[in-house]
Amino acid sequence: MRILFFNYEFPPLGGGAGNASYYLLREYAKNPEVTIDFVTASVDEEIHYAVFGDNVTIHRLPIGKNQANIHYQTKKELLKYAWESYKYGRELAKKNHYDLSHSFFSVPCGFVSLLLKWEFKIPYIVSLRGSDVPGYSERFTFLYQFITPIIKKIWSQAHFVVANSQGLKELALKTLPKKEIRVIFNGIDVREFFPDHSKLNPNQFHIVCVSRVTPRKGIRFLVQAFKILEGRYEHVRMLIVGDGNEKKSLEELVQALGLEDKIVFLGGVAHERVVEYYQKANVFVLPSLNEGMSNTVLEALACGLPVVATDTGGTKELIKDGVNGLIVRMKDSNDLVEKIEKLVLNPELEKNMALESRKLAEKISWDIIADEYYKLYRETSNVGKINRG
């Protein structure tokens, strides 16, 4: 089975969707029954190639990426990716017989799959990631007015539309109520992410937030909450792991609040090193304004951390309030203080939640997720064979 896969995000570019693609490709590199051409964006002005095993080829196309911020894609860059990946995909489709294409994000990637279906009769699957669903992101409120008809067309022509959480599925159904939408979670590698209590500092309570540092993640409210917490508890500390376009203003806020000795911005950290920062923490906090299925929440669960997070996207499917974490209200620093304080004051609660988090993570693995997609691939491939006669 030959698959043409599109996602403009792939490490080090982007965030959760790129990481999800990485783990899926790593699993498919073990499967001799599939051959995949993965078309993504380059970090510079050159085309680059890489391989996973003998059957997965990664094609990186230049889109004029701004090296100063590799985690944020401008509208211009997304349009450039759409055009370049379509041209490149056409050339690949002329040379290779593809059974299907798979696109992460409705736009721009799903649009590319739609065009290739019209021209080459290649059926496709679209994986919804969050911002590609109308109503998900305030950043795209104006844009949604113009692209929603295109998104509806992309979804209606797709053989499968897949959301990464029940919450995202419900949001998508508001746009196209009659479309069948499957749910396949993001997975987690529990061998790569695991607890290591030897790295904890018994004299400090560490909060960790691993995230893109953008306004959508709500980190500003966490910094404000921390100001109250550190006034009550001298031993609290916080690590913010990640980069983004709000990092500078948050660093200025931390300095203005006199917290530079207690809040550390680590910036972008190599993926293989992120685990050590989870392992040093007592709690993971993500006060996001919207999420699909957060990879960092999954990583935190696998590392045996209680999770304090807002009730958005897939959070309610991963966090059982009072069992393995605590749910907080959006944009509410005082609620963050109250929930984090429960863990500061109750080490036994922290320990019990940590155990529950790890138990949940062990029920999710990327090989299971890859197998769920593989079943969809086989069904979609059969449709393609029928369409081609």
SS (H, E, C) 285-328: EECCCCCCCCHHHHHHHHCCCCEEEECCCCHHHHCCECCCEEEE
Count of beta carbons in the 10 Å neighbourhood of residue 325? 30
Co-location of 265 and 343 in the same domain = yes
Q: Report residue 348 as tokens.
A: 């036994």
Residue 323 has pLDDT above 70, yes or no: yes
Per the CB < 8 A criterion, the answer to whether 207 and 340 are in contact is yes
Co-location of 176 and 216 in the same domain = no
Question: Could you say which DSSP state residue 210 is in?
Answer: E
In a domain, 347, yes or no: yes
Over residues 266-295, the mean pLDDT reads 92
- Least reliable range by pLDDT among 26-30, 120-124, 242-246, 309-313: 309-313
Residue 359 has pLDDT above 70, yes or no: yes
Residue 389 has pLDDT above 80, yes or no: no
In a domain, 40, yes or no: yes
Over residues 328-341, the mean pLDDT reads 97
Co-location of 369 and 357 in the same domain = no
In a domain, 108, yes or no: yes
Structural domain for 65, as ranges:
2-187+365-387
Per the CB < 8 A criterion, the answer to whether 147 and 107 are in contact is yes
Q: Provide the pLDDT confidence category of residue 384 given band limits of 50, 70 and 90.
A: low
In a domain, 192, yes or no: no
What is the predicted pLDDT for the residue at 184? Answer: 94
Co-location of 211 and 355 in the same domain = yes
In a domain, 237, yes or no: yes
In a domain, 61, yes or no: yes
Co-location of 21 and 117 in the same domain = yes
What is the predicted pLDDT for the residue at 199? Answer: 96
Q: What is the pLDDT of residues 89-122, one digit of tens each?
A: 999 999 999 999 999 999 999 999 999 999 999 9
Co-location of 147 and 20 in the same domain = yes
Over residues 309-330, the mean pLDDT reads 92
Contacts of 316 (CB under 8 A, 6+ apart): 167, 327
Higher pLDDT, 271 or 255: 255
Q: Which amino acid makes up residue 47?
A: I
Distance, CA of 83 to CA of 102 (rounded, Å): 17
Count of beta carbons in the 10 Å neighbourhood of residue 105? 25
- What CATH number should be reported for the domain holding residue 272? 3.40.50.2000
Co-location of 162 and 212 in the same domain = no
Distance, CA of 250 to CA of 263 (rounded, Å): 11
Co-location of 38 and 53 in the same domain = yes
Q: What is the pLDDT of residues 175-199, one digit of tens each?
A: 999 999 999 998 999 999 999 999 9
In a domain, 79, yes or no: yes
How many structural domains does the chain have? 2
Distance, CA of 43 to CA of 64 (rounded, Å): 8
In a domain, 98, yes or no: yes
Co-location of 111 and 222 in the same domain = no
Q: Provide the pLDDT confidence category of residue 295 given band limits of 50, 70 and 90.
A: confident
Co-location of 179 and 167 in the same domain = yes
Co-location of 357 and 377 in the same domain = no
Over residues 239-258, the mean pLDDT reads 96
What is the predicted pLDDT for the residue at 363? Answer: 86
Q: Provide the pLDDT confidence category of residue 296 given band limits of 50, 70 and 90.
A: very high
What is the predicted pLDDT for the residue at 205? Answer: 98
E strands in the chain: 2-6, 35-41, 48-52, 56-61, 100-104, 124-128, 160-163, 181-183, 205-210, 236-241, 263-267, 283-286, 307-310, 325-328
Full-model pTM = 0.80
Q: Provide the pLDDT confidence category of residue 386 given band limits of 50, 70 and 90.
A: low
Co-location of 154 and 217 in the same domain = no
Q: Share the mean pLDDT of the chain.
A: 93
What is the predicted pLDDT for the residue at 157? Answer: 97
Distance, CA of 353 to CA of 25 (rounded, Å): 32
Q: What is the pLDDT of residues 229-242, one digit of tens each?
A: 999 999 999 999 99
Say if residue 44 is exposed, middle or buried (CB neighbours under 10 Å; 0-12, 13-18, 19+): exposed
